[in-house]
């Protein structure tokens, strides 16, 4: 399995499929998952001739579990080191949920010289938590409850999340599948405890407004209008007005887990945007 030794000694696991393919698409996963969660999109685009690259964020999946560095700045810096290591150019970056924040911070912090397009799926941008300047955000007490649930019984909490709001399985008439629930639980339990705990603050309290303004590339936002984790109003509908060149596609009835529940449609949207 390929690993990159980062400057601070962290081993970053990554997948690099169809290395001779073109163009290159990178994937940044959500909390507390890993690169496995994007395999439907990676397989589809690699089969279409693309090179696809995805990493397990520090503390997640098969990467090292450092005590420190579980924040958006470091996530973006780690990804930049991977870009340099693989000499990636003309990339379309794709990020889901927390990964969408990582993509925005990457562009804001390291520029877009290596990036030609970006796709933010169910992303946490521009800011999740409710503040005086973000009154429609999610109250801090909600994220405090996440941390409390983790400390009390992480294993059960990581069953409750995918069994309910993440996939929208708590909605009346939903077709519940145990496979995605077990996969989410497995990926979540692979994440380091401290890493998962700290990442809640990273994805909820990091203001990415300035980063969105610096995304001087075409940006497509995909978001479900029934996203119970990252409601569409203060996220995608706000973000599309901030990026200089953005388009928003709303998935009617779509949950937070668009890459999983709506994988075929997401795949086609990614391919179409890539070809534009």
200-235: pLDDT as tens digits: 999 999 999 999 999 999 999 999 999 999 999 999
Q: Is the pLDDT of residue 1 over 80?
A: no
CB neighbour list of residue 57: distance below 8 Å, 6 or more residues apart:
28, 29, 34, 63, 75, 78, 98, 99, 102
- Exactly one of 64, 211, 256, 269 is catalytic; which is it? 256
pLDDT at 79 (0 to 100) = 98
* Dist CA 13 CA 82 (whole Å): 10
pLDDT at 213 (0 to 100) = 98
45-64: pLDDT as tens digits: 999 999 999 999 999 999 99
Q: Is the pLDDT of residue 138 over 70?
A: yes
139-196: pLDDT as tens digits: 999 999 999 999 999 999 999 999 999 999 999 999 999 999 999 999 999 999 999 9
Q: Is the pLDDT of residue 239 over 80?
A: yes
* pTM of the entire predicted model: 0.97
**CA pseudo-torsion sign 34, 37, 41, 42:** positive
Is 96 assigned a catalytic role? no
Is 256 assigned a catalytic role? yes
Report the number of distinct structural domains present in the chain.
1
Q: Does residue 183 contact residue 259 with C-beta atoms inside 8 Å?
A: no
In degrees, to the nearest 5, what angle opens at C-alpha 95 toward C-alphas 91 and 98?
145
Is 56 assigned a catalytic role? no
- Quote the domain boundaries for residue 269: 3-275
248-to-21, 205, 223, 236 alpha-carbon distances in Å: 28, 23, 8, 7
- CATH code for the domain of 184: 3.40.50.1820
103-120: pLDDT as tens digits: 999 999 999 999 999 999
CB neighbour list of residue 163: distance below 8 Å, 6 or more residues apart:
169, 170, 176, 181
Residue indicated by tokens 């996440």: 146
* Dist CA 269 CA 121 (whole Å): 11
Instruction: 110-115: list long-range contacts, CB under 8 Å, 24+ apart.
Output: 110/76, 110/77, 110/80, 111/214, 112/214, 112/215, 112/216, 112/217, 114/83, 114/88, 114/89, 114/90, 115/91, 115/217
pLDDT at 73 (0 to 100) = 98
pLDDT at 96 (0 to 100) = 98
- Exactly one of 56, 77, 211, 227 is catalytic; which is it? 227
- Exactly one of 97, 122, 195, 204 is catalytic; which is it? 97
- What stretches of the chain adopt beta strand conformation (E)? 3-5, 11-17, 24-28, 51-55, 91-96, 115-121, 219-224, 246-251
């Amino acid at each position: 399995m390929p690993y990159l030794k980062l400057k601070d000694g962290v081993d970053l696991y990554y997948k690099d499929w169809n290395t001779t393919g073109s163009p290159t698409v990178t994937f940044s996963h959500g909390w507390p998952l890993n690169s496995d969660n994007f395999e439907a999109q990676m397989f589809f685009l690699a089969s279409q001739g693309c090179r696809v690259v995805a990493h397990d964020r520090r503390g997640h999946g098969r990467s090292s579990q450092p005590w420190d560095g579980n924040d958006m700045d470091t996530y973006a810096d780690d990804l930049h080191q991977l870009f340099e290591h693989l000499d990636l150019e003309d990339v379309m970056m794709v990020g889901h949920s927390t990964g969408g924040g990582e993509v925005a911070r990457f562009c804001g912090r390291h520029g877009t010289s290596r990036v030609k397009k970006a796709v933010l799926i169910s992303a946490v941008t521009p800011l999740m938590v409710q503040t005086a300047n973000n009154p429609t955000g999610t109250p801090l007490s909600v994220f405090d409850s996440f941390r409390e649930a983790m400390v009390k019984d992480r294993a059960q909490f990581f069953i409750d999340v995918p069994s309910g709001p993440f996939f929208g399985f708590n909605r009346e008439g939903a077709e519940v599948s145990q496979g995605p629930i077990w996969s989410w639980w497995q990926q979540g339990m692979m994440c380091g405890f401290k890493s998962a705990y700290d990442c809640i603050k990273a994805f909820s309290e990091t203001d990415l407004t300035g980063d969105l303004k610096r995304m001087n590339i075409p940006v497509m936002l995909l978001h479900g209008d029934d996203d119970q984790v990252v409601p569409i109003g203060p996220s995608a509908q706000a973000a599309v007005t901030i990026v200089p060149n953005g388009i928003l596609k709303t998935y009617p009835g779509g949950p937070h887990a668009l890459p999983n529940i709506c994988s075929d449609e997401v795949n086609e949207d990614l391919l179409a945007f890539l070809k534009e």
